[in-house]
Structure 1
């Protein structure tokens, strides 16, 4: 268990760029389709059961939510995309907010894209990856709910996704993850430590 991430505490939830915390220090954002298990992944990574709100209704996260780890480092929960039963106008508003955040936020050190291992690389996932690439962000793909597949099938899917996202010649790290078994937590911590400068 990594005690640093247990320090995570809610700071604010906003729907506009100018209401975000000061653009200083370092932060890592989490993005994912609304039913991919993003909030559960954040809770598992932080060893906290109710830090990021989970819901049986996809699309619960409708704002950009900031969690402080210390005075200079943060985790950020972006609005779930793709599946939420909301109006097209609201979806467009979310998209504009996320695109602006990813392209303009100077303290953003990396982007974690959370995907259900049974339904990876949807059009929405690819859009997030493209935004991340355009913003020249470090990228990590988490294939969540890996416990739903047999070990061999999960690793085969891991290889398939890794090859698919490497097609443009850029290496993107892909990891298996399960909130149920907590597998994959340590590799995620090692990536976040590097991006956030933990231990520097």
Structure 2
């Protein structure tokens, strides 16, 4: 099933995870460090420049944002994690919220993990992979901002991350290069979302 992501619209925001009782709804979670490119990815995915607000101050967004692709298919954008000016208490609080979402939400079909290709596999990234494996949640890893480094470096980073990810023994995990600016990997993201939603 192919979805028209240009029809996506902002649905709602909330500060806390609520249990999803509607089993007919399919959700995909977007998660990553602050400034990892989540908002830009949503905008290029939907071909809407301002659907997801890109804050000039990383770490400012602290709400869970829901976007409706169709009446029964949602994108769930978690607050960016780990910005250096964010307090440790707030970092732990958001990590717990994300873990709670992964644990209790039966509507979750997959997780898109955003990593800046220049700084991949940070502690939070590894935690998300471990937790997703525990709850059998499939993952797509996007190495964002790939246009920021040369082609040979892209290949080296992709190989390095793929090798590290293989250590987690996850069969339902894919990794690809991504650039919102150059629109690299957008088709891969759309296809993966279509597969999960179907």
CA drift of 1:16 comes to 1.5
Number of aligned positions between the proteins = 196
Per the TM alignment, residue 25 of structure 1 is displaced from its structure 2 partner at its CA by 1.4
Alignment of 1:29-178 (within 5 A): 29-83=29-83, 85-171=85-171, 172-178=173-179
Classify the secondary structure of the residue corresponding to 1:18.
coil
SS in structure 2 at match of 1:61: coil
Alpha-carbon contact 2:139-2:174 (below 8 Å) kept = yes
Provide the rounded CA distance (Å) in 1 between the counterparts of 2:35 and 2:159.
22
Q: Which consecutive unaligned segments of at least 5 residues does structure 2 have?
A: none
Q: Normalising to structure 2: TM-score of the pair?
A: 0.92
- For the residue of structure 2 that corresponds to 1:67, the secondary structure is strand
Aligned partner of residue 57 in structure 2, secondary structure: coil
Question: Given the two structures, how large is their TM-score scaled by the length of structure 1?
Answer: 0.91
TM-align CA RMSD: 1.8
Contact 2:20-2:105 within 8 A present in 1 as well: no
Check conservation: 1:30, 1:112, Cα contact below 8 A.
Answer: yes
Q: Do 1:58 and 1:84's aligned partners in 2 also have CA atoms closer than 8 Å?
A: no
The gaps in structure 1 that reach 5 residues or longer are: none
Q: Assess if the C-alpha contact under 8 Å between 1:32 and 1:113 holds in 2.
A: yes
